[in-house]
Amino acid sequence: MKISFIGLGNMGGPMAANLAGAGHTVTGYDMAAPAPEGVTMAESSAAAAKGAEVVITMLPNGAILRSVAAEVIPAMDPGAILLDCSTVDVDSARAVAEMAAESGCSALDAPVSGGIGGAAAGTLTFMVGGSEDALARAMPLFEVMGGRTVHCGPSGNGQAAKICNNMILGATMAVTCEAFALADKLGLDRQAMYDVASTSSGQSWSLTTYCPAPGVGPQSPSDNDYKPGFAAELMQKDLGLALQAAEAVDSPTPLGTEALRQYAQFVDEENGRGKDFSALLPRLAARGR
């Protein structure tokens, strides 16, 4: 396919390189990031989108997505697909889908899970909102960039799935860190804590796949001085999006709200920016001593 890829940072760059490596023709645009291997750079986002069958975006937030969409949709051919892989608010995803439809184009919101490692390895999970027809046409690209693609329903539902999933992730990681810190102060060895909880009712992905305690369980960012696989400020962003959506539909989220408070304090007041979201553990373990 002829593809445009706009937003070539830590996630978008390797995704675009994988598409080029699979034989697709990829034209890219980014205001700062260098050209990934195999990608030809354009002078603007609109120039990159011209003539593309699929325009892929990976952008920081909903406001930037709306701005870029306003530039690229008029340059897109009728019938082309705008495939947004950013994590943004549901309203922005649906607004962009309406913009695309008005111009005779299709739109898919397809946020990802799997982090920088998954982007490089082509093993991301995509949560997709939009039409089944557009999804079927874009499926060869999802198969290059990821290992699993889930159709979540109409436009905006991909973003809804992402923020609900990450609210679970943020809350379970926070309480996992609390439990390890409590175990420390009760004199319970971390390995013993892991051996019990990982095989009983306390088991979770945050514990058994991404354990926040170094030297315990599979390799994770905690074993690399908490250098981010998923940065704390990104968890703060996703929890904020979840609570914004919850307020819009009057859905109570007391645990999600507390998780956001914990991450906001860590990032904004306790030098947590640039650290992995599992770095709540050393912060909690050091308290009260």
DSSP state of 231: B
How high is the mean pLDDT of the chain?
96
Task: Look at the domain 160-286 and name its fold.
Answer: N-(1-d-carboxylethyl)-l-norvaline Dehydrogenase; domain 2 (1.10.1040)
For 134-164, how does the pLDDT look when each residue is reduced to its tens digit (9 = 90+)?
Answer: 999 999 999 999 999 999 999 999 999 999 9
pLDDT score for 287:
82
For 14-57, how does the pLDDT look when each residue is reduced to its tens digit (9 = 90+)?
Answer: 999 999 999 999 999 999 999 999 999 999 999 999 999 999 99
Upper half-sphere CA count for residue 24 (Cβ side, 13 Å):
27
CB-count burial class (<10 Å; 0-12, 13-18, 19+) for 271: exposed
- Active-site pick, 2, 50, 162, 227: 162
How many helices (H) does the chain have, and how many strands (E)? Answer: 12, 9
Percent of the chain surpassing pLDDT 70: 99
The pLDDT of 181-201, averaged and rounded, is 97
Confidence of residue 114 (pLDDT cuts 50, 70, 90): confident
- Boundaries of every domain in the chain: 2-153, 160-286
> Which spans in 38-131 are helix H?
45-49, 62-72, 90-102, 115-121
The overall longest dimension of the chain from CA atoms, in Å, is 65
pLDDT score for 117:
86
Give the 3-state secondary structure of residue 182.
Answer: helix
The pLDDT of 99-119, averaged and rounded, is 94
Phi, psi of 196 (to 5 degrees): -75, -55
Active site residue 2: no
pTM for the whole structure:
0.91
In whole angstroms, what is the distance from residue 259 CA to residue 185 CA?
A: 22
CATH superfamily of 2-153: NAD(P)-binding Rossmann-like Domain (3.40.50.720)
Contact yes or no for 235/277 (Cβ under 8 A)? yes
Contact yes or no for 122/20 (Cβ under 8 A)? no
In whole angstroms, what is the distance from residue 259 CA to residue 273 CA?
A: 16
Q: Is the dihedral of CA 40, 42, 46, 47 positive or negative?
A: negative
Q: Is the dihedral of CA 183, 186, 188, 190 positive or negative?
A: positive
